[in-house]
Chain A
Amino acid sequence: MIDMFAQFWTDIELLRAIASWACFLFGGLAVISGALGIVRFPDFYTRLHAAGVTDTGGAEMILLGMLLQSPNWIVAVKILFIGAFLFFTSPVATHAIAHSAWMVGFKPLEGRELRYKEGGE
């Protein structure tokens, strides 16, 4: 059974390479756009949004691309562990940061204020 799957895994190498390229390009784009958002967005909560979305989305896409390139099953299991862990802890960390900032008294910018700040900087 495992031998059959290993044979199948080597047979679809070209398909795996194409799928990995797609995942890496999409994930890299997501990570870079999120990092640009962290630098460029006007206030703390918008930056948190940019970081939170890309930390889960881009990281999962890149890990999926790595999973398709894994040479044997134990590497695949390790990548699945990392993916599952990041999938659950990254939103928890983002929520913890947002919650503690809200408790301190940070208020999100709204409406005209947000637009003004964006043009002002």
Chain B
Amino acid sequence: MMFGVVIAAILAAMVLALVRAFAGPSLYDRILAGNSFGTKTVLLIGLMGFITGRPDFLDIALLYALINFAATLAILRFFSYRRSQEEAS
């Protein structure tokens, strides 16, 4: 019950973040929505572990938090390198 309420809230927030990721006018809006979606996925994985009675899922949540942070920085760095190459050519 307790976890069900907050899982519903997080799922609603994830849908809204996806709306912005698809509709976002600029590249950075999409990256922002993706980052926010990833943070909510970490919370969702942890809560799913609690609601199914297997808190071992928290390991996966911790790993996902690491991957999400590295992926956001990697995507930003990728686009900044691509832009500097376009300026050079």
Contact = CB atoms under 8 A, between A and B. Distances in A.
B42 A47 contact: no
B80 A100 contact: yes
A86 B39 contact: yes
Interface residues of B, number: 42
Contacts of A82: 42, 46, 58, 61-62, 65
A106 interface: yes
Interface string B48-82: 00100001001101100110010011001001100
Contacts of A35: 12-14, 16-17, 36
Given A62-B6, A85-B65, A104 B31 contact: no
> Is the contact region of chain A dominated by helix, strand, or loop, or is it mixed?
helix
Interface of B: 2-3, 5-6, 9-10, 12-14, 16-17, 19-20, 26, 28-29, 31-33, 35-36, 39-40, 42-43, 46-47, 50, 55, 58-59, 61-62, 65-66, 69, 72-73, 76, 79-80, 83
Interface of A: 17, 20-21, 24-25, 27-29, 31-32, 34-36, 38-39, 44, 47-48, 51, 55, 59, 62-63, 65-66, 69-71, 75, 78-79, 81-82, 85-86, 89-90, 92-94, 96-97, 100-101, 103-104, 106
Given A44-B26, A55-B36, A93-B72, 11 more contacts: A27-B6, A31-B10, A38-B20, A51-B32, A59-B43, A62-B6, A63-B43, A66-B47, A82-B61, A89-B69, A96-B73
